Amino acid sequence: MVHVDDCVFTGSSAELISDYKSKFNDWYVLTNLGPISWLLGIKVTWDRDNRTISLSQTTYIESILERYALTSARAYAMPMVPRVLYSRDQSPSTPQEADRMRNVPYREAIGSLMYASLMTRPDITFGVVTLLQFLDNPGDAHWEAVKHILCYLSGTKTLALTYGEERHDLLGYTDADGATQEHRRAISGYSFLIDGRAISWSSKKQELVTLSTAEAEYVAVTHAAKEAIWLRRLIHELFPLLARPTTLYCDNQSVLKLIEDDNYQA
């Protein structure tokens, strides 16, 4: 794999890569930067002996910790405090509180966390999406939760997504958080893995209000299944070897019965 300007070429044949770069260079002036080591702030590490590749954002995380003066803060073991709920009732209720919160870099911190969440840190995605709801009027409790995620990253900044440690096809996991949000809309979540690490993940508020846990889980499975179909098509274009069905894991028995039998009553 080589990095040419803002393009990354990868393949199993060095001759084909060289030929493609040559044809590409006929149309655009390119600068060959050699084997890739950084991409959009992501550190790319190779272990050719074990045939693995790792993606990490240690330097990026250190930079945002320094920006918000949390480099020496105590690290936390979890990205969010268990069983603590956040709501708009915790937003500023007086002009004085609102004025004080205007000096808090809440939006900037959420933006920094979103980039880490989208690139290499699926473990903070749920927390970031939860706190994103209060972007227009954050309160002290919401800001403390943001700092909690940053402190969690402080203790886990060296973690990386390492591909190739395992050998298996596309696998999917899905779940739903059905009743902890004040807006009463469940949160759909899924993650898809190839060779031991995540390649696609999401945590998103459902567009409809469901009436049961089974219904919320069924909606989450539906969104995950659509992502699985898209990923299978993409993978088939790159590596036309994906012949077996993709396994999608769900922990709700009512949903599993409903999928198998349309007449099942949850």
CA distance 149 to 131: 10
CA distance 79 to 57: 16
Task: Evaluate whether residue 97 is within a structural domain.
Answer: yes
CATH (domain of 248): 3.10.20.370
Q: pLDDT band for 266, please (50, 70, 90 cuts).
A: low
What is the domain extent for residue 1? 1-36
- Residue-wise pLDDT tens digits, 60-84: 999 999 999 999 889 999 999 988 8
Q: What is the mean pLDDT of the chain?
A: 86
Report whether pLDDT(143) > 90: yes
Task: Evaluate whether residue 266 is within a structural domain.
Answer: no
The pLDDT value given to residue 107: 94
Q: Which two tokens stand for residue 95?
A: 């002009």
CA distances from 224 to 35, 67, 217, 266 (A): 34, 36, 10, 20
Q: Tell me what the mean pLDDT of segment 130-143 comes to.
A: 93
Task: Evaluate whether residue 249 is within a structural domain.
Answer: yes
Say if residue 177 is in the same domain as residue 152: no
Say if residue 176 is in the same domain as residue 244: yes
Residue whose C-alpha is closest to residue 132's, from 153, 152, 115: 115
CA distance 261 to 166: 34
Task: Evaluate whether residue 195 is within a structural domain.
Answer: yes
Tell me how many domains the chain contains: 3
- Residue-wise pLDDT tens digits, 98-121: 899 999 999 999 999 999 999 999
Say if residue 80 is in the same domain as residue 25: no
Say if residue 142 is in the same domain as residue 187: no
Task: Evaluate whether residue 138 is within a structural domain.
Answer: yes
Mark which of 128, 156, 184 sits at the end of a domain: 156
Q: For residue 108, what is the enclosing H or E element? A: helix 106-119
Say if residue 205 is in the same domain as residue 142: no
Task: Evaluate whether residue 210 is within a structural domain.
Answer: yes
CA distance 188 to 221: 8
Task: Evaluate whether residue 142 is within a structural domain.
Answer: yes
